[in-house]
Amino acid sequence: MDGTGKGGAMIEIAGLEVVFASRGDRVRAVDGIELAVAEREAFGLVGESGSGKSTVLRALCGLAPVSGGRATIAGLPPPRRRDPAFARRVQMVFQDPFSSLHPRHTIDRTLAEPLVIHRLGDRRERDRQVEAALTDVGLDPGFRFRYPHQLSGGQRQRVAVARALMLEPQVLLLDEPTSALDASVQAEVLNLLSRLRRERGLTFLMVSHDFAVIDHMCDRVAVMQGGRIVETLDHAALARRQVREDYTRRLLEASSAHAPLALQEEGGA
Amino acid sequence: MSALLEVEDLRVAFDTPAGVVEAVRGLSFTLGRERLGIVGESGSGKTMTGRAILRLVQPPGRVSARRLAFDGQELLTLPERRLRALRGRRLAMVMQDPKYSLNPVMSVGRQLTEGLRRRERLSRAEARRRALAMLEAVQIRDPERVYRAFPHELSGGMGQRVMIAMMLIPEPDLLIADEPTSALDVTVEAEVLKILDGLVRERGLGLIFISHDLPLVSRFCDRVLVMYAGRVVEELKAAELERARHPYTRGLLRCLPRVGGPRGDLATLTRDPAWAEQGAE
């Protein structure tokens, strides 16, 4: 199944505008952006709060209104309401694993639910898939009958990733997937996401405020400000700090306060 | 260096149905007029340490210490009234998110002047003058507008500056800042830290900077305590962070990605149960 639009791009955004209107105020959250993400590419959107980066993701999957332009994934426009065909292609992982899992459903129910909704497999087959999914995200199958409150933040985010992958989508939309996690747990979840992308040939569109995280995960990164893309950079350009725009430079400069220091090797004076 | 704060064998324990849980387990340090960072991941006890110093731990939490003295006064046995006077005037705390720390239905001006008018019995005009001066000191460009505004009319960075202004109006000797910039954008964070740094230098106050972010803290503080499971596992001069010895401290630095860094898996941290048992020598 090819499923990509013309030109081979998995995600295509052209002239996208998202306008929210409330009490006479019109807020232009996304103000005309263009981007194309190839199949199996990992593409990042980085920016500060209010830059419109999350709104782009939400518009792609029908959670924010498309006021102008086009946005498609695998040739599919954002679904108006629940659309099983879209859900099988595209899944989303959210920032906060504390609010994105149903607190009164067991992990088993959370993971089996997409299969039930899409009428995939019988109970035995679903059981097998739930166990396989847990193992695949590095959790013991013993977690199946626990509730979210019995899990740590990192374990919950692993469950959220497992849930997103139950229908074997081609595309994952990742909205700050590790910013609620401790640094050491973030490393584990990022490693997990990279491995799953490699193994399954997934296409990622990832949003983060953290320049280091987004650069580590993505082939190309678009810097957003005020609903627009300021510039798009690849990993090599970032490594050499080949930056055109002042805003990007300011953002990189401010981010460097969080950059790790080089450790002296043990035994070295 | 005269000790502003002396902490010896500080413990915070919670009685739970499953038994006693110790959030802080025997912490000791002294603080002068310097910038001390307390760093750890969630559950390390760093926030509880800050709250315990101000005696803000609520039951069922219990705080004990061999010594917890601010400017020579033992805080744990101080009567509540005298403690409250200290807290308002000489000890102050800035928390993570201004959204939850400011009163949403009171104008910024009233919140800033409330304490001044009550404690120092200043006239309305004099209190207003002091508040506006402090808003200027935290680099708010239009202090008159912010003075009249309500918290929801301010951005996150603006709200956090207001919080810092509020805490600094009584000219405290010790400021405890618990993740003061984690809710802010990086460019705003840089400004807020610069303001904080300037104030600490000019006014010579002691600062305890509590954070999960080891690189950030080491760039901002003089000294860093690394906490793990309620204990200090390593104490370092901030300038010598790259000489960290403890596997936990080193692991915390290694697991971070950096812009332009190598691809491939990030280092992960294998937690050794022994870390929780032994503190720093």
ipTM of the complex: 0.87
Residues B222, B191: contact at Cβ < 8 Å?
no
Which residues in chain A touch residue B189, judged by CB atoms under 8 angstroms apart?
A: 254, 257
Residue A234 bridge partners (DSSP): A220
Verify whether the Cβ–Cβ distance B266 to A260 is below 8 Å: no
**Buried b or exposed e, range A152-179, using 16+ CB within 10 angstroms:** ebbbbbbbbbbbbbbbebbbbbbbbbbe
Of A50, A47, A49, A73, nearest in space to A60 by CA: A73
Of A65, A126, A57, A53, nearest in space to A90 by CA: A57
* In-domain check, residue A262: no
**Residues 6+ away with beta carbon under 8 Å from B61:** B12, B13, B14, B23, B48
* In-domain check, residue A266: no
Angle at B140 between CA B130 and CA A20, to 5 degrees: 135
Residue ranges covered by each domain of chain B: 1-90+205-281
Question: Which residue shows structure tokens 């025997």?
Answer: B26
* Distance between B72 CA and the closest CA of chain A, angstroms: 36
CA pair distance B281, B279, nearest whole angstrom? 6
CA pair distance A207, A37, nearest whole angstrom? 14
> B71: alpha, beta or left, given left = phi > 0 and alpha = psi -120 to 50?
left
| Strand ranges inside A96-227, DSSP E | 171-175, 203-208, 220-225
Q: pLDDT digit of tens for each residue in chain A (269 aa)?
A: 444 544 579 999 999 999 988 777 788 999 999 999 999 999 999 998 889 999 999 999 999 999 999 999 999 999 988 889 999 999 999 988 878 899 999 999 999 999 999 999 899 999 999 999 999 999 999 999 999 999 988 899 999 999 999 999 999 999 999 988 899 899 999 999 999 999 999 999 999 999 999 999 999 999 999 999 999 999 999 999 999 999 999 999 999 999 988 887 765 44
Residue pLDDT, tens place only, B63-88: 999 999 999 999 999 999 999 889 87
Verify whether the Cβ–Cβ distance A264 to B243 is below 8 Å: yes
Domain at A218, CATH number: 3.40.50.300
CA contacts within 13 A on the Cβ side of A123: 1
Count of residues for chain A? 269
In chain A, whose CA is at the least distance from the CA of B219?
A257
In chain B, whose CA is at the least distance from the CA of A261?
B242
Distance of CA B10 to the CA centre of its chain: 17
* In-domain check, residue A260: no
Cis peptide bond upstream of B60, omega within 30: yes
Question: Which residue shows structure tokens 């977690």?
Answer: A143
Verify whether the Cβ–Cβ distance B259 to A250 is below 8 Å: no
CA pair distance A219, A206, nearest whole angstrom? 11
What residues of chain B score a pLDDT lower than 50? 1
Name which CATH class applies to B1-90+205-281: alpha beta
Q: How many distinct structural domains can be found in chain A?
A: 1
* In-domain check, residue A33: yes
Owning domain of residue A43:
6-255
A194 touches chain B (CB under 8 A): yes
CA pair distance A130, A120, nearest whole angstrom? 12
* In-domain check, residue A114: yes
